[in-house]
Chain A
């Protein structure tokens, strides 16, 4: 048996398990068509389940996991490509985009901080939650830099994204947002890439603007967090 457990520490185990779990997640989302069935959340739940049931230590899984983790920085860098392809849109509407993203980022960070104080959450959780409205790679970097528990950041970011994409149509009606650019930016500012997938469904302008907001709010949140944290 102990030989078998050594095999779990092979990088191939963690990678294969991750791919299979993610594949199942994608299948479930396609079948149900629900935003709440986020493939990433499903994959995380499945893997945590497998590790707990078979008493496989996290460290064994992470031998392969850390190799997948390696791709996070390059993937973040490539967000530049998605901004670059929309640079004309950015140039034309730079003022409303900048104002919206700045106000959105500050509001998000401020309201999270205020509520964390209200609920008396400790520092490592507060720092983990403050950047939760921006895209995961940037949120994780900010949280890590300021002593937050990064896995809680990941969970909060995804949760926020799912909430944003579910609530988006209701919020657009509730706050009477008629302009597609405004709607797209607001969705991107509060719920990053997961919200953007919903914004793309709403329309081309909404999608492009939401995508721009991901990058803008990401950078602005880094800057603001350096100033205050």
Chain B
């Protein structure tokens, strides 16, 4: 499932375009796929703002927009934090239902104290 996400060609284009000042035709020559397919990858990267086409003298070259790459990474990191928080809350909710079931089928609880005692015992063995 994760494997499907990794696109080596796009990664490679971004990597090359950091240092090499190549036009689309030159870039495409590195890959066995069709020129149209490479163009498509470049269009996706351009839409994401990760590369730009710039004029250098008479040539049009593809350049990686490092600033944008950093911004996108940061945004994805924030989104990851958001989902980690949500998943933590999901886990708590699921835990609550389990606890609720335990309580409903047993006597009033003295477990927290027991848990503490156990923890202390463990500590003292160190």
Real binding pair: no
